[in-house]
Amino acid sequence: MQEQQQNEWFATWFDSPYYHVLYDNRDEIEAQRFIERLCAHLGLAEGTRILDLACGSGRHARVLHALGFRVTGADLSRNNIQLAREHAPEGLTFIVHDMRDPLSDRYDVVMNLFTSFGYFDTISDNAKALESVHNALDAEGLLVIDFMNADKVVRELKTRQELRKGEILFHIKKEVVNGRIVKTIAFEADGRSHFFQEKVQALDLMDFQQLLGNAGFRIENVYGSYQLEPFNELNSERLILICKKV
């Protein structure tokens, strides 16, 4: 698996310091309000065991921990995990983990947030990730997937964009290739030319219904925003799925 990871875009891009330069404007307040609203809606009791799967640098995990839950954050990127640990309060755990691999601990809830699914080259890897989650959840445990509304994203795709962050000018190109939204990022920094790509499968609600059903989950609720508004394929910004292990 390690050799395979080295050839996958997320293994290099998420560990690059330039990733954090480009995405330096993550909305911490929006993340906090969403997590608070979501946990209240789910009626989670204090001490609930939660896994933040593909946690990045830990912004959602820190909010969950502050709400009184027993939280573990897991991410493939060693740099992200190191950064998360540097800002982690006592009792908040972070681990380096590929979501396709089995998990050793058990959880009541697994959260996969901010479009952190569908990065793989094959659909079968999605099934591996969901199987791992299913096995790690206790009976009737919950899986929360917060994904983009791929139909809306594809319709409104901005094909070219330039973003300046400090002294770095990022040249960004977006296109749909073989059912994936591909974002190409090129820039000059530290005397070198750099080139990275992000590739996310353009999964829609029907895709998730099939994937989750095959993995042993039942979709309980579908929302279209961080305010937990009903999902609408045309207008919703997000595709948020609340799923129960069956």
Position 4 scores a pLDDT of 46
Report domain 2-149+203-245's class: alpha beta
The mean pLDDT values, 10 residues at a time, for the chain of 246 residues are 62 92 86 97 98 96 98 96 96 98 98 97 94 97 98 96 96 97 97 96 98 98 98 98 98
Helix ranges, the chain (H)? 2-6, 9-13, 17-22, 28-42, 59-66, 78-86, 123-136, 150-155, 205-214
In Å, how far are 8, 51, 58, 118 from 113, measured between CA atoms? Answer: 20, 11, 11, 12
Q: What was the pLDDT predicted at 125?
A: 97
User: Whose CA is closest to 134, among 198, 217, 230, 49?
Assistant: 217
- Domain map (residue ranges) of the chain: 2-149+203-245, 153-198
- What pLDDT is recorded for position 113? 98
Q: What is the pLDDT of residue 24?
A: 87
Q: For residue 7, what pLDDT is reported? A: 65
pLDDT confidence of residue 207: 97
Distance (Å, whole) CA 77 – CA 99: 11
pTM of the model: 0.94
Inter-residue contact 176 to 202 (CB < 8 Å): yes
Contacts 24+ apart (CB under 8 A), 240-243: 240/144, 240/145, 240/146, 240/147, 241/143, 241/144, 241/145, 241/147, 241/208, 241/212, 242/42, 242/142, 242/143, 242/144, 243/142, 243/143, 243/144, 243/145, 243/212, 243/217, 243/218, 243/219
Cα–Cα distance, 169 to 163 (Å, whole number): 6
What pLDDT, on the 0 to 100 scale, is given for residue 27? 78
